[in-house]
Homo-oligomer: A and B are copies of this chain.
Amino acid sequence: MKRRQFLGAASAGLAAGALARPAIAQSMPEIKWRLTSSFPKSLDTIFGAAEVFAKAVSEASDGKFQIQVFSAGEIVPGLQALDAVQNGTVEMCHTAPYYYVGKDPTFAFATAVPFGLNARQQNAWFYHGGGMDLLNAFFAKYNAFALPGGNTGCQMGGWFRKEIKTTDDLKGLKMRIGGFAGQVLAKLDAVPQQIAGGDIYPALEKGTIDAAEWVGPYDDEKLGFQKVAKYYYYPGWWEGGAALHFMINKAKWDELPAAYKALFHAAAGIANVDMLAKYDAKNPAALKRLVAGGAQLRPFPQPVLDACLEASAELYSETSAKNAEFKKIYDSMMAFRNEEYLWWQVAEYTYDNFMIRARARG
When distances are taken between beta carbons in the complex, the residues of chain B under 8 Å from A235 are 346-348, 350-351, 354
How far is the CB of A226 from the nearest CB of chain B, in Å?
15
> Could you tell me if A127 and B263 are in contact, using CB atoms closer than 8 angstroms?
no
> Could you tell me if B350 and A356 are in contact, using CB atoms closer than 8 angstroms?
no
> Could you tell me if A62 and B27 are in contact, using CB atoms closer than 8 angstroms?
yes
**A210 CA to B272 CA, complexed, in Å:** 42
When distances are taken between beta carbons in the complex, the residues of chain B under 8 Å from A127 are 273-274, 277-278, 281
> Could you tell me if B346 and A60 are in contact, using CB atoms closer than 8 angstroms?
no
Copies of this protein chain in the complex: 2
Is A68 on the interface with B (CB-CB < 8 A)? Answer: no
How far is the CB of A81 from the nearest CB of chain B, in Å?
23
Question: Chain A, 119-160, contact with B by CB distance < 8 Å: what is the 0/1 string?
Answer: 111011111110000000000000000000000011111000
> Could you tell me if B276 and A120 are in contact, using CB atoms closer than 8 angstroms?
yes
When distances are taken between beta carbons in the complex, the residues of chain B under 8 Å from A121 are 280
Most buried by B among A115, A234, A236, A280: A280
Query: Given contacts A272-B273, A288-B342, A346-B297, is CB(A354)–CB(B281) below 8 Å?
Result: no
> Contact check: which of B59, B260, B261, B349 meets A259 at CB < 8 Å?
B59
Is A359 on the interface with B (CB-CB < 8 A)? Answer: yes
Is A199 on the interface with B (CB-CB < 8 A)? Answer: no
Nearest to A127 among chain B residues (CB) is B277
> Could you tell me if A281 and B115 are in contact, using CB atoms closer than 8 angstroms?
no
Question: Chain A, 268-285, contact with B by CB distance < 8 Å: what is the 0/1 string?
Answer: 111111101110111111
Is A73 on the interface with B (CB-CB < 8 A)? Answer: no
Query: Given contacts A120-B277, A343-B287, is CB(A266)–CB(B354) below 8 Å?
Result: no
Within 8 A of B (CB), among A245-275: 257-263, 265-274
Nearest to A354 among chain B residues (CB) is B305
When distances are taken between beta carbons in the complex, the residues of chain B under 8 Å from A257 are 62
What class of interface size applies to chain A in its complex with B?
Answer: 35 or more
How far is the CB of A135 from the nearest CB of chain B, in Å?
15
Identify which of A10-18, A82-90, A189-197, A333-341 touches chain B.
Answer: A333-341
Nearest to A121 among chain B residues (CB) is B280
When distances are taken between beta carbons in the complex, the residues of chain B under 8 Å from A342 are 284, 287-288, 359
> Contact check: which of B266, B285, B305, B339 meets A269 at CB < 8 Å?
B266
Query: Nearest 9 CB-CB pairs, A to B?
Result: A269-B270, A59-B262, A128-B281, A124-B280, A235-B351, A266-B266, A60-B263, A284-B339, A284-B343
**What are 23 A-B residue pairs whose CB atoms fall within 8 Å in the complex?**
A24-B24, A27-B62, A59-B259, A59-B262, A62-B257, A119-B120, A120-B277, A120-B280, A123-B276, A124-B278, A153-B348, A154-B351, A156-B347, A235-B354, A265-B270, A266-B266, A266-B267, A270-B270, A272-B273, A283-B343, A297-B346, A344-B355, A352-B352
